């Protein structure tokens, strides 16, 4: 049994198919990279798995540890062990970094998690998770908070994007920590070099998984794709 199984997922918004017959699995303690260009529905897929408001499959099943979770709320899914690190994490006024990282468990020490994402605890623990943080700092804190949760499945939505993005080494260190603690990771990215650190990879194209397999093979296919922005039309014949 896989940890996560998506069966023939379709999602429509404003009369348009964003995901169309998507199937994907994430195994226990696996790092699975999901590669796709902008606009292919990577973040939509993350929101569907997490159960965000307005994101419910038009058809298809989402199974977590063999149990269908389509009807569960976001909170119920979080309780099962699913967590999402948003591509652009939201800011909070009046909540310190210390409180944010330990929001689910006041007894944990947030400092080691900050160190893992390359931030000095003494400089950050008492700062607020607000607009005074740069985009990169906020992303690192989000990753630290997800690490502190020790989820069964961490969905990381483009941790490598942004002006002051995390370096590949930073991401590798974080991913290794997830693996070490027994988590599975769905690593969403559009950078093939990031996908190479995964155990398995999939390429999303035109609302479907175009190919799943060895990261090197998927990265190579993604690199040599013929479309810059994927609309599913260019690859259509190859896929079918």
Q: Interface residues with another protein (CB under 8 A)? A: 50, 52-53, 73-75, 78-79, 82-84, 86, 89-90, 92-95, 103-104, 145, 149
Nearer of residues 148 and 195 to another protein, judged by Cβ = 148
Closer of 78 and 227 to another protein (Cβ): 78
Q: Which residue, among 46, 52, 58, has the nearest Cα to 21 in the 3D structure?
A: 58
The nearer residue to another protein, 141 or 205, going by C-beta atoms, is: 141
Tell the smallest beta-carbon distance from residue 94 to another protein (Å): 3
User: Which residue lies nearer to another protein by CB, 97 or 205?
Assistant: 97
What separation in angstroms does the CA of 133 have from each of 19, 48, 123?
A: 34, 28, 12
65 vs 128 by CB, closer to another protein? 128
CB of 92 to another protein, least distance (A): 5
Cβ at position 201, least distance to another protein in Å: 24
**CB of 44 vs another protein, minimal distance in Å:** 15
As measured in angstroms, the least distance from the Cβ of 90 to another protein is 4
Distances (CA, A) of 102 to 97, 106, 170: 9, 5, 22
Report CA 139 to chain centroid distance, whole Å.
12
Tokens describing residue 87: 């591509």
**How near is the Cβ of 137 to another protein at its closest, in Å?**
16
Nearer of residues 13 and 233 to another protein, judged by Cβ: 13
């Amino acid at each position: 049994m896989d940890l996560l199984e998506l069966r023939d997922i379709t999602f429509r918004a404003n009369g348009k198919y964003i995901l169309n017959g998507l199937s994907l699995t994430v195994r226990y303690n696996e790092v699975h990279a999901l590669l796709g260009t902008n606009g292919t529905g990577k973040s939509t897929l993350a929101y569907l798995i997490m159960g965000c408001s307005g994101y419910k499959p038009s058809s298809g099943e989402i199974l977590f540890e063999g149990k269908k979770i389509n009807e569960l709320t976001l909170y119920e899914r979080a309780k099962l062990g699913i967590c999402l690190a948003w591509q652009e994490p939201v800011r909070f006024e009046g909540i310190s970094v210390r409180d944010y990282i330990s929001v689910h468990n006041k007894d944990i020490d947030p400092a080691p998690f900050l160190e893992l994402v390359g931030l000095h605890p003494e400089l950050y623990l008492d700062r607020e998770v607000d607009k005074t943080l740069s985009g990169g700092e906020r992303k690192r804190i989000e990753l630290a908070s997800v690490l502190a949760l020790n989820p069964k499945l961490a969905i990381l939505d483009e941790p490598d994007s942004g002006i002051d993005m995390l370096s590949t080494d930073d991401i590798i260190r974080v991913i290794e920590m997830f693996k070490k603690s027994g988590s599975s990771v769905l690593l969403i990215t559009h950078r093939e070099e990031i996908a190479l650190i995964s155990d398995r990879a999939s390429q999303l194209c035109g609302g479907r998984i175009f190919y799943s397999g060895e990261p090197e093979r998927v990265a190579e296919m993604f690199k040599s794709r013929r479309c810059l922005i994927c609309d599913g039309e260019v690859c259509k014949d190859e896929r079918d």
